[in-house]
Copies of this chain bind each other. A is one copy, B any other.
Amino acid sequence: MVIRYELQAECDGARAGLLHTPHGTFKTPMFMPVGTQATVKTLTPEELYAMGAQIILSNTYHLFLRPGEELIRQAGGLHAFMHWQQPILTDSGGFQVFSLGQMRKITEDGVTFRSHLDGSRKFLSPEVSMDVQMALNSDIAMAFDECIPYPSDYDYTSQSTARTSRWAQRCLQHHHSPTQGLFGIVQGGMYKDLRARSCAELVAMDFDGYGIGGLSVGEEKSLMYDILEYTVPLLPKHKARYLMGVGTPDCLLEGVARGVDMFDCVYPTRVARNGMAMTKTGRLTVRNAKYAADFVPIEENCDCYTCQNYTRAYIRHLFKAEELLAYRLVSIHNLHFLLHFMRDLRQSIVDGTFREFCRQFRRVYRDR
């Protein structure tokens, strides 16, 4: 097995483990920073590693269009190209393609779409996605799926979920790489029977791990947690479970509480570039005028590079002056915050104090 999940501890539904990959082992539960275009925006790999990132995600759709997977293959794969020697997970391109709306057309074969860069006609299918991801040589490839929009009716969701299963089978047949694992993606929208069918079909195919897709797409959080709580127990215990596109502390905690091992989201880096810092008590919009003369760090007692060396007043100045260092400093803080949040969460599972950790978190955190 290229990818192997090792369970280490369980506590109140949450679990701590290790995921072994060709580029090394990382601890779960883990948050994966997103490096869409072969770079986690503004940061170097050394900075990511120093703040505790052990695996990053990169986007097949973007790299397929630019610079193209052949160039990255020539460079020696994505790790060498972007100078990141730890594990990488690539998504399948499906999510981005389906987000294009009117610019794409779905058939059983795959999806024809127009590039957002130059409008040129492109085609992605299970086979093409596998070829691209094998060229990138990420540690974990994702099967090509349709992420169903919310809300969607039962009939569409049912048809789409069935097609995602057929596509998953084609991915499995086409994928052949001794240095890359392949995860299937569970769909089924907000319908539990369709989630159950999706799980059953995918689990029967025996993927190296399972993504849970089609959540955090606009539904209420309570609905997301409910679907998640229903879905996770249908997945095999000896494989990793990855909740796709989730990145706020409350959602990470609730995901971990329901047995999820991996998460990714552009949230911490995207809001950072808008001047929004993540803290234990919720978001802090450091670019606001009220911080203009506030000579304390973003968060007291935070040991990230940014909080150790800079004040809110300085960071706000950088935002007002549109200085690139602003985006960098808050990206460092936010990723550090989230990665250390996950580390603490994991430790509480190992220590058997997860329930208490959750209680304390819910007491102070405000989803502003």
Give A residues with C-beta under 8 Å from B.
Answer: 37-39, 41-44, 62, 66-67, 71, 74-76, 81-83, 292-293, 295, 305, 309-311, 313-314, 317-318, 320-321, 323-325, 327-328
Is B324 a contact of A324 with CB atoms below 8 Å? yes
Is B75 a contact of A39 with CB atoms below 8 Å? no
CA distance A84 to B135 in the complex (A): 44
Answer whether A325 and B41 are a contact pair too, CB < 8 Å, given A67-B317, A313-B71: yes
A81 neighbours in B (Cβ, 8 Å): 311, 313-314, 317
CA distance A310 to B45 in the complex (A): 11
Answer whether A324 and B328 are a contact pair too, CB < 8 Å, given A75-B295, A292-B71: yes
A65 → chain B closest CB, angstroms: 10
How many copies of this kind of chain does the complex include? Answer: 2
Q: Is the interface of A mostly helix, strand, loop or mixed?
A: loop
A66 neighbours in B (Cβ, 8 Å): 317, 320-321
For residue A42, which residue of chain B has the nearest CB? B324
CA distance A78 to B43 in the complex (A): 25
CA distance A313 to B72 in the complex (A): 9
Is B83 a contact of A324 with CB atoms below 8 Å? no
Q: Which of B39, B75, B314, B328 contacts A83 (CB 8 A)?
A: B314
Residue contacts A-B, CB under 8 angstroms, 8 given: A37-B318, A37-B321, A42-B325, A71-B292, A71-B317, A75-B314, A81-B317, A82-B314
A318 neighbours in B (Cβ, 8 Å): 37-39
Is B311 a contact of A75 with CB atoms below 8 Å? yes
CA distance A318 to B75 in the complex (A): 14
CA distance A233 to B82 in the complex (A): 51
* Residue among A43, A76, A309, A317 having the largest count of chain B Cβ atoms under 10 Å: A317
A49 → chain B closest CB, angstroms: 13
Is A325 a contact of B74 with CB atoms below 8 Å? no
CA distance A76 to B327 in the complex (A): 24
Answer whether A323 and B41 are a contact pair too, CB < 8 Å, given A71-B313, A81-B314: yes
4 tightest A-B CB contacts, nearest first:
A37-B321, A67-B317, A42-B324, A83-B309
A327 → chain B closest CB, angstroms: 6
Answer whether A310 and B67 are a contact pair too, CB < 8 Å, given A37-B321, A323-B41: no
Is B71 a contact of A37 with CB atoms below 8 Å? no
A325 neighbours in B (Cβ, 8 Å): 39, 41-44
